[in-house]
Amino acid sequence: MKNLTVGDVMTTAVLTARPAMPLKEAARVLHDRHISALPVLDEDDRLVGIVSERDVLLAQSAPIPRDAHWWEAPARRDELRRRSGDTVGHVMTTKVVTTVADVPLARAARLMNRHGVKRLPVLDEAGRRLVGVVSRTDLLRAFLRSDDDIRADVRGEVLVHLLWQDPTAVEVEVVDGVVSLTGELGERSTAEAAERLVRRLDGVVDVVSHLTWRIDDGGLARRR
């Protein structure tokens, strides 16, 4: 059963910036292209940071404190650097949370939530080159699948290919992503497995199982 990955939904035509790009130019690109951030690449095309609308606005709106000194704590110096520069390299965020193309969408969503970010630069398998960007909007595509597509996966992927069951033995109803399963299968463990596998399908919001079985083999717990 193949779930959608970051590579399936990411944007590959990515606009990027260089550290030497003037802030005004970066602001113009963000505004004209209706995007909220730009990955920043060095001269070897390696990801070195990300500059967002917030970074640009902070630099433009926050005055430099008069009590700023070189011996300030690292976090404080970083803040002052970002508030005093006039290029992307001065204001960009350098600690960038990234991912790779084969990561499942659910894991990417958890990563975004954990770090409080709206987008993730996608690197190649070597972790060096930028191959795309995935945003929260991209992740939502997994939940916008039609009920008909979900129903087809329940029958074809779960019942036939994974469980080797007769799909006509189970009535599958899908309404707004909620899957209802009704019918009789051979074993209790198969019925439990069907419910669990359906829950893992992209776009499934919930599963209501009315499945029964002819043989109570103790279920999945006993098989373990």
- Give the Cα separation of 161 and 36 in Å (integer): 42
pLDDT in tens, 144-188: 888 999 999 999 999 999 999 999 999 999 998 899 999 999 999
Q: Does 105 lie in the same domain as 60?
A: yes
What's the structural domain count of the chain?
Answer: 2
CATH number at residue 126: 3.10.580.10
Question: For 157, left (φ over 0), alpha (ψ -120 to 50), or beta?
Answer: alpha
Query: Is residue 1, in this structure, part of any structural domain at all?
Result: no
pLDDT in tens, 50-105: 999 888 887 766 555 555 555 556 665 555 555 566 899 988 999 999 999 999 88
pLDDT in tens, 128-145: 899 999 998 888 877 788
**Of 111, 143, 175, which residue sits at a domain end?**
143
